[in-house]
Amino acid sequence: MTGKERRQQLLDVARALFAEKGFDGTSIEEIAHRASVSKPVVYEHFGGKEGVYAVVVDREMRNLLDLIVSALDAGHPRVLLEQAADALVDYIDENTDGFRVLVRDSPVASSSGTFSSLLNDIASQVEHILGLQFSARGYDAKLAPLYSQALVGMVALTGQWWLEARKPKKEEVAAHLVNLAWNGLSHLEHKPKPISR
């Protein structure tokens, strides 16, 4: 095996272990054992468990962000929303271990966790698109960050739930997400006020 192939093998093994057991439950010994190498080989490539974990997380974050950003190519806002929801649900379905790694050790509520950072990156992309749409429709574009966080959070939390439930089918999940978000956005009030006041 070349050095590049060995590194990829170690990343694949570590990704599966981190998905299964989390960061704390995974050891260098176990990574080395499953890859049929000695511990020094893992240390040589990554310097330790933190190093291999950082590479696995970085790769997954890049993959998911690239999928979602590349999906945002339509002109109509509803189609953009559908594309983003489809991309996330497709990623969860096709890269289950990767998504588990992102959400397992990085709860959404954490302000500095990897999944939280990823959601913020995605929300920044959505914020730009929403800001343009808000301005074009007479809404305050300064509220785009709030709405982008709400939309991305809704899709991400639903994705976490669907990771375990796997019902309904992924296309239906995406359609329901879009239904809720789009119908909510299509009746958006310009200046909402709390009902109880």
Q: In the numeric block, which tokens belong to residue 14?
A: 């570590």
- Rounded mean pLDDT of 122-135? 83
pLDDT of 79 strictly over 60: yes
Q: What is the distance between the alpha carbons of residues 37 and 106, in angstroms, rounded to a whole number? A: 29
Residue 74: the pLDDT is: 65
- Reported pTM: 0.77
Report residue 109's pLDDT band, with 50, 70 and 90 as the boundaries. very low
The larger pLDDT score, comparing residue 74 to residue 80, is at 80
Q: In the numeric block, which tokens belong to residue 96?
A: 């289950």
- Structural domains for the chain: 56-186 (1.10.357.10)
CB distance 22 to 44 below 8 Å: no
- Rounded mean pLDDT of 52-78? 83
Residue 33: the pLDDT is: 97
Q: What is the distance between the alpha carbons of residues 195 and 150, in angstroms, rounded to a whole number? A: 20
Percent of all residues in the chain with a pLDDT value above 90, rounded to a whole number: 37
**pLDDT tens digits for range 6-49:** 999 999 999 999 999 999 999 999 999 999 999 999 999 999 99
Could you please report the per-residue DSSP string of 45-100?
HHSSHHHHHHHHHHHHHHHHHHHHHHH---SSHHHHHHHHHHHHHHHHHH-HHHHH
pLDDT of 107 strictly over 50: no
The three-state DSSP-derived secondary structure of 126-194 is HHHHHHHHHHHCCCCHHHHHHHHHHHHHHHHHHHHHHHHHCCCCHHHHHHHHHHHHHHHHHCCCCCCCC
Return all residues near 163 (Cβ < 8 A) that are at least 6 apart.
92, 96, 99, 100, 103
Report residue 132's pLDDT band, with 50, 70 and 90 as the boundaries. confident
